[in-house]
Amino acid sequence: MRAILTAMLLLITVIVIYGSVAEGEDGMKRQINGAGGSVSTHIRGMSP
C-alpha cells in the first residue's frame, strides 16, 4: 500500500512539473513556436 501511494505521488509530481515547464505561460512549447516563426520569416526573406 505504501509503495502504491509513493508511486502515485511521484506520478502526480512529474505531471505537475511537466505541465509547468512545457505547457506553462512561458513554456518550451510557446518558445519553440516563436523560434520557428522567426526562422521561417528569415528564410522567406532570403533572396534566391
Convert the pLDDT of each residue in 6-48 to its tens digit. Answer: 999 999 999 999 888 877 777 777 788 788 888 888 888 887 7
Give the global pTM: 0.55
In this prediction, residue 43 carries a pLDDT of: 86
How many whole angstroms separate alpha carbon 44 and alpha carbon 48? 10
| pLDDT bracket for residue 5 (50, 70, 90) | very high
In this prediction, residue 39 carries a pLDDT of: 86
How many whole angstroms separate alpha carbon 13 and alpha carbon 31? 23
**Nearest of 45, 21, 46, 16 to residue 32 by alpha carbon:** 21
In this prediction, residue 7 carries a pLDDT of: 96
